Amino acid sequence: MVRHFGRAYVRARFVLFVLLLIPSTVRATIDYHVSLNRPGDHLFHVTMSIPVEGRRVTVALPAWNALYQVRDFSMRIRGMEALCPASIAVPAQIASLDKQTWQISLDGPCQPNDHNTIEVRYAIEWDSHGPFNSELDTRHAFVNLAEILMYVPERRAESTTVEFVDVPPTWHTAAELPSTGENSYSAGSYDALVDAPVEAGEYEELHFSESGAHFRVIIDSNKWNRPLLETSLQSITKSELQLMGGGVPFDPPSREYTFFFYIAPDGDVEGGGMEHRNSTAIAASSTEAAIAIAAHEFFHVWNVKRIRPQALEPVDYTKEQYTRALWFAEGVTSAYASFTLERSGLWTKDQFYADLAMQISALEARPAREWQSVESSSLDAWLEKYDSYRSPERSISYYNKGQILGVMLDLAIRDATDNHKSLDDVLRRMYEEYARQGKFYDESAGIRAVVEEVSGKSFGDFFRRYVAGTDEIPYSDFLSVAGLAIKMSSENPDGADPQAQAIAHAKISEIAHPTDRQRRIREGLLRGATD
């Protein structure tokens, strides 16, 4: 039987045939296998499998992650080779392009039509404690994946998988990523993959739900207070979820959040926490300290992970990324940690006042406040790895001054609106206008714009003097709005040089007879409420 076809059909078949001959743009899953064999050697053995069209690919390892410090993770690599697996493997040449980038070139043909897979194999050494590092030893593994996994620079948006192999038989793995099997996880992109730390070991685990959201808690500790940690986390998550308007902000498919805790009361641990989009890693010397850090880190779910300055997008793993807005991203987050601890009942109001007074004392003790603005401190974050930069004469902390400015800004907004609006409203508006719209704010100018939108008043003077500038903060003026008084005292420590600058001490207290307006603003500040 003979069938006859029209010209359009024949033309379409011809076009399809031609298209099949043209190599398509590569878009496939890049796979990683990470061996934990012989953990006492502190070496992660990584195999990266990259589908390629052709015989060449460029790979790189981030220069920085977790801290605003270029730490050059490539210096930790111990051996590197590449090949195309086949019945007879085809070796590849590796050429360094710079300290963290390599070009991989196959020596010859491998797969039909050059639809190849190139495997890059290397070991990388990590044995450093804490949420900003990675560690592999006989007790456990903790991994910030950007510190061990290479990427293809122009293909970061492609889907990825990571599988941990040679895992000791009594160990389990945990990561806030979709699971694809035992010790295996997937992500829609390299960036999403490396924004989820991994714990492997004999950890303890608990779960709870709060305000419609599900939480998982991974604990690496031999001495911690389970009832205290669980009830405190419930209080913190409830308070901050409600503050930000309710709903579950975490990403699908699980829409879950994981806390990773390393609590070592008897160990040498440098406390701190590292935020991730759907999880956080926290190290602390006690359960109480871990709770305080958790209040800060959980608020990063919104501020910095979703409400984000444009200057930090997209992430550039190759070099420093500068922003003037860390005073808001980190410092105001610290203000909300203290708000949350007080508003949830984990702190008394006197503890809140004492913490704010301590922050003021710390700022006043740093002569650098007279010439370094909090915006400049944000830009200079990349200098923090140098001990001399941290001296009181050289720098201030954007955490410290940013926290103070967060409280003062809240009071200023309440004052300008007769307690009808607050900084809470600013954060919620930024979440709606930026995060939910997939947009990013323009440094301090973007923050100021929303403050003025919410308050209906100009805040140019505030941002000019205290954010971009170095004017002394008139604490009494701000605090008196809420019926609060501050008393500053100074003293020279015993044995100190009489010519040395005295140490400032601040104390904040409630005035005896506040006006009704002062009382309303103070209650609003402490309860997170407006009139």
pLDDT in tens, 96-130: 999 999 999 999 999 999 999 999 999 999 999 99
Please write the tens of the pLDDT for every residue from 463-475: 999 999 999 999 9
Residues 273-283: what's their mean pLDDT? Answer: 98
Residues 19-39: what's their mean pLDDT? Answer: 72
Name the percent of the chain lying above pLDDT 90. Answer: 89
Query: What are 59's strand-pairing partners?
Result: 102
| 511 has pLDDT over 80 | yes
| Residue whose entry in the numeric block shows the structure tokens 């290397």 | 122
Query: What are 140's strand-pairing partners?
Result: 201
Any idea which architecture 316-527 has in CATH?
Orthogonal Bundle (1.10)
CATH 3.40.30.160 fits 204-301, yes or no: yes
Residues 74-94: what's their mean pLDDT? Answer: 95
**Cα distance between residue 74 and residue 475, in whole Å:** 47
Closest CA to 224 of 238, 240, 204, 210: 204
CB 384 within 8 A of CB 390: yes
Name the percent of the chain lying above pLDDT 70. Answer: 93
| 2 has pLDDT over 60 | no
**Cα distance between residue 368 and residue 376, in whole Å:** 11
Please write the tens of the pLDDT for every residue from 471-488: 999 999 999 999 999 999
| 493 has pLDDT over 90 | no
Q: Where are the domains of the chain?
A: 30-201, 204-301, 316-527
| 497 has pLDDT over 70 | no
Angle between helix 398-416 and 349-364 (nearest 10)? 120
User: Three-state DSSP class for 145?
Assistant: helix
| 443 has pLDDT over 80 | yes
CB 52 within 8 A of CB 116: yes
Distances from the Cα of 468 to the Cα of 124, 360, 464, angstroms = 42, 18, 5
Q: Do domains 30-201 and 204-301 have the same CATH topology?
A: no
CATH class of 30-201: mainly beta
Q: Identify the pLDDT of residue 12.
A: 39
Q: How confident is the model at residue 494 (pLDDT cuts 50, 70, 90)?
A: low
Query: What are 130's strand-pairing partners?
Result: none
Q: How confident is the model at residue 270 (pLDDT cuts 50, 70, 90)?
A: confident
Distances from the Cα of 505 to the Cα of 132, 364, 489, angstroms = 32, 8, 5
Question: Cα-atom radius of gyration of the chain, to the nearest Å?
Answer: 27
Please write the tens of the pLDDT for every residue from 302-338: 999 999 999 999 999 999 999 999 999 999 999 999 9
Closest CA to 356 of 220, 235, 195, 479: 479
**Cα distance between residue 330 and residue 372, in whole Å:** 17
| Residue whose entry in the numeric block shows the structure tokens 């944000």 | 378
